[in-house]
Structure formats: C-alpha cells, structure tokens
C-alpha cells in the first residue's frame, strides 16, 4: 500500500520500528476494506481478533493510530478508542550466580573471546540486541572505557563500561580481524553459519544467547534478559535511579522499577519478612 510507505518515509522512526509498523499496517489494510470509515468498535475487534498478547496489541494499536492520524486527521472515529498499556508480567532476570555460570562456560578459543566480550558489554551497558549488533569499531573507545551507538528511536547515546569489559573487548579485537570480512565495520561478527565474517544479526545473536543458556543449564534466556539483569544487579549494588536512567536511557523512574521488579520483590522478603520477625529467623 503506497500510503503506508509514504507515511513510514515521513516519520523519524528507527529501521526496526519501520519494519514492525509496516507489518502491522499491512495486516490492518488487508483486514479492513475501508480504513477511512473504520470506527472504534471495528478497530477493537481487529486488535482482539489476531490472537495477539497484550503487548503486541498495544504495539499494533500504536502503529494503527499513528497512521490513521497522519492519513485522516485527529478526528478519525477509530481514534476515540484509547489504548491502555498494561504492565507486563515479570520477565527473565538472571542472578549473579547464573551470570557467573555463563562466564565459566566460555572457552579460550576465538568464539569464547567474542561471546565473553559480548556478555560483558551487555551487562555493563544494558545495550539491546540490535544495538550490540550495530556497534561499530569507530565508536568503541577502550582506553576511555565508553562506546557510542545508535539506540532506540534513532538517537545516539554514550555508554560507559568497566576496565574488565575493556580488557574483554581488547582480547576479542586481537583476533576479530582474522574473522571479519573486509569492510565490515561492526565490533561483533558471525563466526559460522551461513554468514561468517559478516555483522551479527538479531536472530543470530538470539541463537547464540540461547546456546549460552543451554550450555549453562539456564532456561529462557534472551538478549533482553541481560538488560533487566544489568539494571537489577546495578540497583542491588546501590546505583541510584538517576544513574540507572542515564545509563539505560530511561526517561522515568517507573522504567527503573519495571526492570528491577525482581530485586524490589525480593527485598521485602529478605529484609522485612514478618515471618522472620515473629519466628526469629
């Protein structure tokens, strides 16, 4: 649909957002014959009839509302439906012990060097999978211990990291050029599969992380679990909400609380348990 492509081309969306919005808008256009006359009831029925979970419905709804407002104006009847974003259930957050187990699973070969460096960058910076994949050599500063990367929303951000992470990265970069194809700018590259020497993709990174978990006997690990883990371990070590917001790119303390729910829930039982108080622990 030409209008969808025109809409997407005029927005300041990231490449990933464009891809996701294109998918949902194409489904909407194929399902509803006349978008101009679609009212709130039809809109709600469409969102609820795709078999999507709450988070997916919210994202698809945001895409649809943005397009309808752009194409037909703020008075379009479907825009009367206000989409409420419900709090998602707690998701996978690793403990310090589980992270240690992952580290112990990395070998001393080139693949082990790369994966160890990636895990350290994940944990120190809280980067998302797509940000890890596009991290470029030119924007990595080992001596100053920081990196620059294009983050969600198309903005650029600087992330600091520790001396240990700097050493892990240096250990990988010593051998990286033996594997990377000429002209590949990214820090992390594929070492096997169908695209050796090329930049890692999000799907490839997910597969790598899944193998980490399988090797360590830890279920349900995804790249985003490290973002929650990094925030939780940082908060556990005393990092303030303001510092976590700055490092992870959050605009409110509410996001800090969302990502560190495991720590907050555990803190009551550990420090303020009524059972321990009454029974003497």
Domain boundaries along the sequence of the chain = 2-80, 96-266
Beta bridge partners of 141: 146
What's domain 96-266's architecture?
Answer: Orthogonal Bundle (1.10)
Q: How many CB atoms lie within 10 A of CB 73?
A: 9
Alpha helices by DSSP H, 52-186: 54-72, 96-104, 110-125, 129-134, 163-179
Q: What do you get for the CA distance between the two ends of the chain, in Å?
A: 65
- More confident site: 37 or 90: 37
Beta bridge partners of 136: 186
Share of the chain above pLDDT 90, in %: 47
pLDDT tens for each residue of 74-114: 899 888 877 766 666 566 788 889 999 999 999 999 999 99
CATH class of 2-80: mainly alpha
Give 136's pLDDT tier (boundaries 50, 70, 90): very high
- H helices, E strands: number in the chain: 14, 3
Identify the residue whose tokens are 């830890």: 218
């Amino acid at each position: 649909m030409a209008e969808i492509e025109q809409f997407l081309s005029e927005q300041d969306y990231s490449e990933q957002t464009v891809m996701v919005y294109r998918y949902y808008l194409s489904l909407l256009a194929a399902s509803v014959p006349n978008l101009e006359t679609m009212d709130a009831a039809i809109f709600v029925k469409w969102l609820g009839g795709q078999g999507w979970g709450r988070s997916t419905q919210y994202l698809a709804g945001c895409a649809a509302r943005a397009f309808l407002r752009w194409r037909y104006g703020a008075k379009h009847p479907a825009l009367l439906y206000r989409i409420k974003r419900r709090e998602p259930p707690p998701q996978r957050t690793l403990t310090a012990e589980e992270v240690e187990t992952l580290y112990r699973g990395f070998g001393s070969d080139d693949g082990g060097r790369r994966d160890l460096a990636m895990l350290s960058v994940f944990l120190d910076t809280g980067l998302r999978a797509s940000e890890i994949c596009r991290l470029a050599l030119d924007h990595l500063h080992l001596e100053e211990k920081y990196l620059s990367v294009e983050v969600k929303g198309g903005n650029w951000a600087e992330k600091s990291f520790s001396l240990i992470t700097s050493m892990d990265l240096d250990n990988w970069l010593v051998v990286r050029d033996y594997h990377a194809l000429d002209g590949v700018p990214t820090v992390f590259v594929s070492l096997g599969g169908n695209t050796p020497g090329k930049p890692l993709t999000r799907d490839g990174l997910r597969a790598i992380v899944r193998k980490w978990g399988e090797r360590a006997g830890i279920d349900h690990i995804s790249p985003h679990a490290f973002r929650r883990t990094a925030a939780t371990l940082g908060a556990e070590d005393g990092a303030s909400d303001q510092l976590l917001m700055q490092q992870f790119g959050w605009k409110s303390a509410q996001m800090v609380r969302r990502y560190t729910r495991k720590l907050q829930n555990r803190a009551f039982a550990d420090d303020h348990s009524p059972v321990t108080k009454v029974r003497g622990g």
